Structure 1
């Protein structure tokens, strides 16, 4: 199967998956209030549980699904995840209480794994010299879905009701399943991979590998910084805005500007990484994003704050494509499912911890310190990779040949 066709399919899947998810998630509290008739106290209690349960369950399940994808194949995992997610979205549209919605969100965590499965699929098909571009386009599609999802969600909820938004999301995921069954083909295993099949690479092998651990720290810390900021952005914008009524709209526009910058820049980061080395791009991206994030804690002017958010998005967009490309380079093809599964777990854990730490910082100080704290963490990560990361990581991140995990644990 032509790799360009696979890339087009995976990019389409990423866009549909991301937009379906973000079309619903921001409106869950309103869904509880308007459709499930929950009281204010119930919404306050169940919102946190309903959001966090999916992260927690998915963090546990992702490495399991990743290992199964290495054994059973990439295509079956895409079909498995898309059909189960389609069912969870449908069930979300027929629940009658916050507790039922909580159970559905827990099931969604079990069903998750479509994103890493798509990354594993395209990593198996893409030529080595197109790896950076492929990962950049995947990240760009994921970001675009995150921008378009809330927009479509708001329009659909207003026009057809919030329950129908769940059914539309379910249809989108079912479409992914159907396209996978009839169009997508399992990548053929080459001779080197067949020989390597006898070598069992376990989750512990990955966790003992210093290069994998650095990548897990990279993606976990990045998602931590993102999720630490998102819940308080509207309040921070409100504190800088003369008109409090426009705070939600302004924060949405400012947040989207960072996403727009990321959607534009992700493929460019991929191309640069392909030419200059992914260790260099991920280092520059961390330092640049960290510096701009720290700067966001300084201004009390919305225009300056929004401009920095756009520039910050340019930096953030270089981290995930670089990390995904490095993972492909340092793992054998028959073990990438485990690797991407662990990276998804790290992202989920970072996403779960971010809002908690951000809330504590706001309680002890102010909104601006959340940005400063996140920015300094990102800067420290970039400095660590630049000066202190082992040479094995930098060499592996710039190689063109797959390295066996068990021979690179120095």
Structure 2
């Protein structure tokens, strides 16, 4: 058997394993998060007057802790091993979900979510591992498939979470999520090997600077981190008001909850389908071009989304946004992977995850302020404007991104 075939089998096997892991991870998260307010009221005895406050505290506590811990775990990954950090995250996340199923008060649930933030880091570590194993000519499609898996898990999770909650009670969702993450832990221990650190690209500008100065001071990395944070702001600026806006457009329509959930998930369906295609496009035409194009098209359709006064046209625009939004993160990830070597990928993707968590904290606040003082339509306009702003920043630095 020749060396080329061995390498091909290894990266394909790694992609298959990590893709399954990402689906388990993402579905475990989304199986629970949409139902946290219900869990607080039904299982933990929080009254209606306090549930919104507790929901905000419980929801945001994870982001705060994980934003602090992600760069620390990333640095440890470069020193101790990326596989080891992925194993750590899987095991601790599994424990955190189990604890979530046995808590008896909202304060205990908050501490559990803080522990979950401390444990986080599985997604950036699996990204780092895959970017090292993937052949350079397959990097785009690999990252696109993983992003598609992340989105697919986000669609599957609420569906199973709702069914489990109705049939077995909400605590069962926590225990099933714990089991899924423990399975991830077992798979990582027995089937994934630590990726090599002496890969091609070690002489890249970002890598040679990476050990001498803060990664934040490297222009290419800084631009991608800021872009990742702002894209996360866009996601979280819209999500909190989306169901309310759909209800406003629907009026007295029957099965409103089902229809709202269906329209809410339409961008997820289209994203899961097209993320691998964007990865392939970036592989053939350049990831910088793919990033700029997906940012512009998604930004335009956010503007379009502010226009419809009917439910059907809004649903169509929601589906269209997913078609183009799905190209953003695979392109950012691929640019970071191309411009850095294996020796600093843990830190790079740890910082990117931290940037996303910061964006996730700021998005709902900004969206709430805009919706309250200007109206819900302006939230979509703000989201589109942010994406076009990022595209202009990328365009301005395009030559630097190509030459780095």
What is the TM-score with the length of structure 1 in the denominator? 0.93
For residues 25-69 of structure 1, the C-alpha deviation after alignment (integer angstroms, 9 at most, x for no partner) is 110110011111111233122110100010111111111101111
Q: Tell me the equivalent position of 2:339.
A: 330
Q: State the alpha-carbon separation in 1 of the partners of residues 201 and 310 from structure 2.
A: 56
Provide the rounded CA distance (Å) in 1 between the counterparts of 2:102 and 2:199.
49
Indicate conservation of the 8 Å contact 1:203/1:338, yes or no. Answer: no
Question: Contact 1:133/1:270 (CA < 8 Å) preserved in 2?
Answer: yes
Is 2:103 the partner of 1:95?
yes
> Does the alignment pair 1:310 with 2:302?
no
Aligned residues between the structures? 394
Equivalence map 1:234-313=2 (5 Å): 234-243=243-252, 246-313=255-322
1:6-405 mapped onto 2 (5 Å cutoff)? 6-190=14-198, 201=210, 205-243=214-252, 246-386=255-395, 388-389=396-397, 391-396=399-404
User: Offset at 1:395?
Assistant: 3.2
Q: 2:202 touches 2:340 (CA, 8 Å); kept in 1?
A: no
Task: State how far apart, in whole Å, the 2-side matches of 1:378 and 1:7 are.
Answer: 30
- For the Cα contact (< 8 Å) 1:234–1:247, is it kept in 2? no
Displacement of 1:390:
5.2
User: Which consecutive unaligned segments of at least 5 residues does structure 1 have?
Assistant: 397-410
- Alignment partner of 1:40: what SS? coil
- Cα distance between partner residues in 1 of 2:90 and 2:98: 12
Aligned counterparts of 1:194 and 1:129: Cα–Cα separation in 2:
17
- Looking at structure 2, the residues matched to 49 and 149 of structure 1 have their Cα atoms a distance apart, in angstroms, of 22
TM score, norm. by length of structure 2: 0.94
Q: Distance in 2 between matches of 1:41 and 1:304?
A: 35
How far did 1:221 drift? 1.1
Against the structure 1 CA distance between its residues 355 and 125, is the aligned structure 2 distance closer, same or farther, given a 3 Å change threshold? same
* Cα deviation, residue 191, structure 1: 7.4
1:192 positional shift = 6.7
Contact 1:11–1:138 at 8 Å: present in 2 too? yes
In structure 2, what is the Cα distance between the partners aligned to 1:199 and 1:113? 25
The change in CA–CA distance for 1:178 and 1:203 in structure 2 (over 3 A counts) is: farther
For the residues of structure 2 that align with 1:191 and 1:294, how far apart are their CA atoms?
Answer: 43
Distance in 1 between residues matched to 2:231 and 2:260, nearest whole Å:
20
Aligned residue number for residue 405 of structure 1? none
The one-character-per-residue Cα deviations of 1:325-373 (angstroms, maximum 9, x if unpaired) are 0000111211011110111111111111111001001111111000011
Kindly tell me: are residues 268 and 262 of structure 1, through their superposed partners in 2, closer, same or farther at Cα, counting changes over 3 Å? Answer: same
1:212-250 deviation line (CA, Å, top 9, x unaligned): 111012211111111111110111111111216644322
Cα separation, 1, equivalents of 2:190 and 2:253:
51
